[in-house]
Protein backbone atom coordinates (compact mmCIF):
# COMPACT_ATOMS: atom_id res chain seq x y z
CA UNK A 1 0.00 0.00 0.00
CA UNK A 2 1.38 3.38 -0.99
CA UNK A 3 -0.03 5.13 2.05
CA UNK A 4 -0.14 4.11 5.69
CA UNK A 5 -3.17 2.39 7.16
CA UNK A 6 -5.94 4.68 8.33
CA UNK A 7 -9.26 4.77 10.12
CA UNK A 8 -12.06 5.96 7.88
CA UNK A 9 -14.97 7.84 9.45
CA UNK A 10 -18.09 9.14 7.74
CA UNK A 11 -21.29 10.93 8.65
CA UNK A 12 -24.12 12.69 6.85
CA UNK A 13 -22.28 15.93 7.61
CA UNK A 14 -20.02 17.47 10.23
CA UNK A 15 -21.71 15.87 13.24
CA UNK A 16 -19.40 12.87 13.21
CA UNK A 17 -16.56 15.19 14.19
CA UNK A 18 -17.89 14.75 17.74
CA UNK A 19 -16.97 11.05 17.40
CA UNK A 20 -13.68 11.86 15.66
CA UNK A 21 -12.62 13.88 18.72
CA UNK A 22 -13.03 10.76 20.89
CA UNK A 23 -11.21 8.58 18.34
CA UNK A 24 -8.27 10.98 18.30
CA UNK A 25 -8.12 10.98 22.11
CA UNK A 26 -8.25 7.18 22.28
CA UNK A 27 -5.98 6.46 19.30
CA UNK A 28 -3.66 9.47 19.08
CA UNK A 29 -1.21 7.96 16.58
CA UNK A 30 -3.68 6.89 13.89
CA UNK A 31 -4.07 8.45 10.46
CA UNK A 32 -7.72 9.55 10.25
CA UNK A 33 -9.82 10.22 7.15
CA UNK A 34 -13.18 11.92 7.65
CA UNK A 35 -15.94 12.31 5.06
CA UNK A 36 -18.84 14.70 5.62
CA UNK A 37 -21.61 13.74 3.19
CA UNK A 38 -23.01 17.26 3.42
CA UNK A 39 -24.19 17.21 -0.17
CA UNK A 40 -26.81 14.69 1.00
CA UNK A 41 -27.51 15.96 4.55
CA UNK A 42 -29.69 15.27 6.47
CA UNK A 43 -29.97 11.48 6.34
CA UNK A 44 -32.80 11.40 8.86
CA UNK A 45 -35.56 12.13 6.35
CA UNK A 46 -34.25 9.93 3.52
CA UNK A 47 -35.20 6.32 2.64
CA UNK A 48 -33.00 3.62 4.22
CA UNK A 49 -32.04 2.27 0.78
CA UNK A 50 -30.70 5.69 -0.24
CA UNK A 51 -28.65 5.98 2.96
CA UNK A 52 -27.35 2.43 2.48
CA UNK A 53 -26.21 3.29 -1.06
CA UNK A 54 -24.39 6.42 0.15
CA UNK A 55 -22.77 4.45 2.97
CA UNK A 56 -21.36 1.90 0.52
CA UNK A 57 -20.08 4.64 -1.80
CA UNK A 58 -18.31 6.44 1.05
CA UNK A 59 -16.89 3.23 2.49
CA UNK A 60 -15.40 2.27 -0.88
CA UNK A 61 -13.83 5.73 -1.15
CA UNK A 62 -12.33 5.49 2.34
CA UNK A 63 -10.87 2.04 1.62
CA UNK A 64 -9.35 3.41 -1.58
CA UNK A 65 -7.66 6.08 0.56
CA UNK A 66 -6.08 3.40 2.76
CA UNK A 67 -8.69 2.84 5.48
CA UNK A 68 -8.61 -0.64 6.97
CA UNK A 69 -11.26 0.10 9.61
CA UNK A 70 -14.49 2.08 9.21
CA UNK A 71 -16.56 4.03 11.72
CA UNK A 72 -20.11 4.95 10.75
CA UNK A 73 -20.31 8.13 12.85
CA UNK A 74 -24.04 8.44 12.28
CA UNK A 75 -26.92 6.71 14.05
CA UNK A 76 -29.20 6.85 11.03
CA UNK A 77 -26.59 5.41 8.65
CA UNK A 78 -25.74 2.69 11.16
CA UNK A 79 -29.36 1.62 11.28
CA UNK A 80 -29.63 1.57 7.48
CA UNK A 81 -26.27 0.15 6.45
CA UNK A 82 -24.10 -1.45 9.13
CA UNK A 83 -25.28 -5.00 8.41
CA UNK A 84 -24.71 -4.78 4.65
CA UNK A 85 -21.35 -3.02 5.07
CA UNK A 86 -20.14 -5.77 7.38
CA UNK A 87 -21.27 -8.44 4.92
CA UNK A 88 -19.57 -6.81 1.93
CA UNK A 89 -16.31 -5.48 3.41
CA UNK A 90 -13.97 -7.77 5.32
CA UNK A 91 -12.66 -5.10 7.69
CA UNK A 92 -13.79 -3.85 11.11
CA UNK A 93 -16.94 -1.71 10.75
CA UNK A 94 -18.01 0.07 13.93
CA UNK A 95 -21.40 1.74 14.10
CA UNK A 96 -23.39 3.97 16.42
CA UNK A 97 -26.57 3.49 18.35
CA UNK A 98 -28.40 5.69 20.84
CA UNK A 99 -26.89 5.15 24.29
CA UNK A 100 -29.96 3.58 25.89
CA UNK A 101 -28.02 1.19 28.15
CA UNK A 102 -25.82 3.87 29.83
CA UNK A 103 -28.83 6.17 30.07
CA UNK A 104 -30.79 3.47 31.90
CA UNK A 105 -27.87 3.19 34.31
CA UNK A 106 -27.65 6.98 34.74
CA UNK A 107 -31.29 7.87 35.36
CA UNK A 108 -32.32 8.41 38.96
CA UNK A 109 -36.07 8.69 38.50
CA UNK A 110 -36.51 6.11 35.75
CA UNK A 111 -37.49 8.51 32.93
CA UNK A 112 -35.13 8.79 29.93
CA UNK A 113 -35.64 11.14 27.01
CA UNK A 114 -34.22 10.50 23.53
CA UNK A 115 -33.40 13.30 21.10
CA UNK A 116 -32.80 11.81 17.65
CA UNK A 117 -33.56 12.02 13.96
CA UNK A 118 -36.80 10.56 12.68
CA UNK A 119 -34.80 7.98 10.73
CA UNK A 120 -33.13 6.69 13.89
CA UNK A 121 -36.34 6.58 15.89
CA UNK A 122 -38.12 4.62 13.14
CA UNK A 123 -35.32 2.09 12.67
CA UNK A 124 -35.47 -1.57 13.63
CA UNK A 125 -32.22 -1.21 15.61
CA UNK A 126 -33.77 1.43 17.84
CA UNK A 127 -36.93 -0.65 18.26
CA UNK A 128 -34.73 -3.53 19.44
CA UNK A 129 -33.02 -1.23 21.96
CA UNK A 130 -36.40 -0.13 23.32
CA UNK A 131 -37.52 -3.73 23.61
CA UNK A 132 -34.31 -4.67 25.43
CA UNK A 133 -34.27 -1.82 27.95
CA UNK A 134 -37.75 -0.26 27.84
CA UNK A 135 -39.15 -2.44 30.60
CA UNK A 136 -36.60 -1.09 33.08
CA UNK A 137 -37.40 2.59 32.61
CA UNK A 138 -39.83 4.87 30.82
CA UNK A 139 -38.27 5.97 27.53
CA UNK A 140 -39.74 9.05 25.86
CA UNK A 141 -38.62 9.82 22.29
CA UNK A 142 -38.52 13.09 20.37
CA UNK A 143 -37.68 13.55 16.70
CA UNK A 144 -35.72 16.74 16.05
CA UNK A 145 -36.15 17.98 12.47
CA UNK A 146 -33.90 20.93 11.73
CA UNK A 147 -31.26 20.47 14.42
CA UNK A 148 -28.79 18.72 12.12
CA UNK A 149 -29.11 21.56 9.62
CA UNK A 150 -28.37 24.15 12.33
CA UNK A 151 -25.12 22.39 13.25
CA UNK A 152 -24.24 22.14 9.55
CA UNK A 153 -24.58 25.93 9.41
CA UNK A 154 -22.38 26.34 12.47
CA UNK A 155 -25.28 27.91 14.37
CA UNK A 156 -24.66 26.32 17.75
CA UNK A 157 -26.30 29.04 19.84
CA UNK A 158 -28.43 31.13 17.48
CA UNK A 159 -31.97 32.20 18.31
CA UNK A 160 -33.41 29.65 15.86
CA UNK A 161 -31.29 26.82 17.27
CA UNK A 162 -32.29 27.74 20.82
CA UNK A 163 -35.96 27.81 19.81
CA UNK A 164 -35.66 24.30 18.30
CA UNK A 165 -33.89 22.95 21.38
CA UNK A 166 -36.56 24.46 23.64
CA UNK A 167 -39.32 22.95 21.48
CA UNK A 168 -37.81 19.46 21.42
CA UNK A 169 -36.70 19.22 25.05
CA UNK A 170 -39.95 20.60 26.50
CA UNK A 171 -42.07 17.41 26.04
CA UNK A 172 -39.31 15.25 27.50
CA UNK A 173 -38.82 17.48 30.53
CA UNK A 174 -42.59 17.69 30.98
CA UNK A 175 -42.67 13.89 31.25
CA UNK A 176 -40.05 14.13 33.99
CA UNK A 177 -36.95 12.97 32.11
CA UNK A 178 -33.79 13.47 34.18
CA UNK A 179 -31.54 11.95 31.50
CA UNK A 180 -31.39 12.91 27.82
CA UNK A 181 -29.77 10.74 25.15
CA UNK A 182 -28.11 12.72 22.37
CA UNK A 183 -29.13 10.25 19.67
CA UNK A 184 -27.41 11.95 16.74
CA UNK A 185 -23.70 12.68 16.41
CA UNK A 186 -24.47 16.31 15.55
CA UNK A 187 -26.13 16.89 18.92
CA UNK A 188 -23.05 16.82 21.22
CA UNK A 189 -22.05 20.13 19.61
CA UNK A 190 -25.33 21.49 21.01
CA UNK A 191 -24.72 20.07 24.51
CA UNK A 192 -23.92 23.46 26.10
CA UNK A 193 -27.13 24.91 24.67
CA UNK A 194 -29.19 21.85 25.64
CA UNK A 195 -27.84 22.07 29.17
CA UNK A 196 -28.58 25.79 29.33
CA UNK A 197 -32.17 25.10 28.29
CA UNK A 198 -32.77 21.88 30.26
CA UNK A 199 -30.79 22.72 33.40
CA UNK A 200 -27.62 21.47 35.04
CA UNK A 201 -29.38 18.62 36.82
CA UNK A 202 -30.12 16.84 33.54
CA UNK A 203 -27.66 14.10 32.53
CA UNK A 204 -26.66 14.22 28.84
CA UNK A 205 -25.53 10.93 27.32
CA UNK A 206 -23.75 10.35 24.01
CA UNK A 207 -21.83 7.38 22.65
CA UNK A 208 -18.68 8.90 21.12
CA UNK A 209 -16.28 7.67 23.81
CA UNK A 210 -17.79 4.16 23.80
CA UNK A 211 -17.48 3.97 20.00
CA UNK A 212 -13.80 4.96 20.18
CA UNK A 213 -13.15 2.24 22.77
CA UNK A 214 -14.97 -0.35 20.65
CA UNK A 215 -12.92 0.70 17.62
CA UNK A 216 -9.73 0.26 19.65
CA UNK A 217 -10.82 -3.23 20.74
CA UNK A 218 -11.74 -4.28 17.20
CA UNK A 219 -8.41 -3.09 15.76
CA UNK A 220 -6.40 -4.85 18.46
CA UNK A 221 -8.35 -8.09 18.02
CA UNK A 222 -8.68 -8.20 14.22
CA UNK A 223 -5.65 -6.26 12.95
CA UNK A 224 -2.86 -7.23 15.37
CA UNK A 225 -0.04 -6.79 12.82
CA UNK A 226 -1.27 -3.42 11.67
CA UNK A 227 1.10 -0.46 11.73
CA UNK A 228 -0.32 2.79 13.05
CA UNK A 229 -0.49 5.78 10.77
CA UNK A 230 1.15 9.18 10.90
CA UNK A 231 -1.40 10.91 13.18
CA UNK A 232 -2.58 13.11 10.31
CA UNK A 233 -6.23 13.95 9.60
CA UNK A 234 -7.74 14.41 6.15
CA UNK A 235 -11.18 15.88 5.56
CA UNK A 236 -13.46 15.43 2.55
CA UNK A 237 -16.98 16.62 1.78
CA UNK A 238 -19.63 16.00 -0.84
CA UNK A 239 -20.95 19.49 -0.16
CA UNK A 240 -19.29 22.86 -0.64
CA UNK A 241 -15.62 22.59 0.34
CA UNK A 242 -15.34 26.22 1.46
CA UNK A 243 -18.43 25.90 3.66
CA UNK A 244 -17.17 22.62 5.11
CA UNK A 245 -13.77 24.17 5.85
CA UNK A 246 -15.43 27.08 7.66
CA UNK A 247 -17.59 24.85 9.86
CA UNK A 248 -14.90 22.23 10.50
CA UNK A 249 -12.51 24.99 11.53
CA UNK A 250 -14.95 25.80 14.32
CA UNK A 251 -15.81 22.22 15.30
CA UNK A 252 -12.39 20.59 14.88
CA UNK A 253 -9.39 22.90 14.43
CA UNK A 254 -8.68 26.34 13.03
CA UNK A 255 -6.24 24.86 10.51
CA UNK A 256 -8.73 22.39 9.01
CA UNK A 257 -8.97 22.23 5.23
CA UNK A 258 -11.76 20.20 3.62
CA UNK A 259 -11.38 18.78 0.11
CA UNK A 260 -14.08 17.92 -2.39
CA UNK A 261 -14.89 14.26 -2.87
CA UNK A 262 -14.09 12.98 -6.37
CA UNK A 263 -17.04 13.08 -8.77
CA UNK A 264 -17.65 9.32 -8.66
CA UNK A 265 -18.24 9.51 -4.89
CA UNK A 266 -20.52 12.55 -4.95
DSSP letter at 40 equals G
User: Is the pTM value of this prediction over 0.85?
Assistant: yes
Q: How far apart are CA 55 and CA 171, in angstroms?
A: 33
Catalytic status, residue 144: no
User: What are the pLDDT tens digits along the chain (266 aa)?
Assistant: 345 799 999 999 999 999 999 999 999 999 999 999 999 999 998 999 999 999 999 999 999 999 999 999 999 999 999 999 999 999 999 999 889 999 999 999 999 999 999 999 999 999 999 999 888 899 999 999 999 999 999 999 999 999 999 999 999 999 999 999 999 999 999 999 999 999 999 999 999 999 999 999 999 999 988 887 789 999 999 999 999 999 999 999 989 999 999 999 99
- Contact assessment for residue 15 and residue 184, using Cβ atoms and an 8 Å cutoff: yes
Specify whether 148 is located in the same domain as 188. yes
CATH code, 148: 3.40.50.1860
Domain boundary among 156, 189, 205: 205
Specify whether 127 is located in the same domain as 196. yes
Of the candidates 36, 51, 72, 74, the residue annotated as catalytic is: 74
pLDDT at 1: 39
Specify whether 106 is located in the same domain as 194. yes
Neighbours of 189 (CB within 10 A): 21
Domain with 145, as residue range(s), is 100-205
pLDDT at 4: 72
Specify whether 196 is located in the same domain as 111. yes
Specify whether 21 is located in the same domain as 72. yes
Specify whether 163 is located in the same domain as 198. yes
Whether 1 is in a domain gets the answer no
Specify whether 176 is located in the same domain as 213. no
Q: How far apart are CA 178 and CA 168, in angstroms?
A: 15
71 strand-pairing partners: 9, 94
Specify whether 88 is located in the same domain as 142. no
Phi-psi region of 110 (alpha: psi -120 to 50; beta: other; left: phi over 0): left
Specify whether 18 is located in the same domain as 110. no
Q: How far apart are CA 49 and CA 263, in angstroms?
A: 21
Of the candidates 85, 139, 184, 190, the residue annotated as catalytic is: 184
pLDDT at 2: 44
Amino acid sequence: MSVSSAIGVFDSGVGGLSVLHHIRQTLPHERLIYVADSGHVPYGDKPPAYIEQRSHTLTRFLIEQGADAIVIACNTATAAAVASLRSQFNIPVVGMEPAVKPAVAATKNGVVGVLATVGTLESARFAALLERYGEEVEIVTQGCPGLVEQVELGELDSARTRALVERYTAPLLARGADTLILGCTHYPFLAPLIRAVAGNDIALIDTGAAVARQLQRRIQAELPERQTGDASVQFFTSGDAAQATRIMSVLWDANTQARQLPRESM
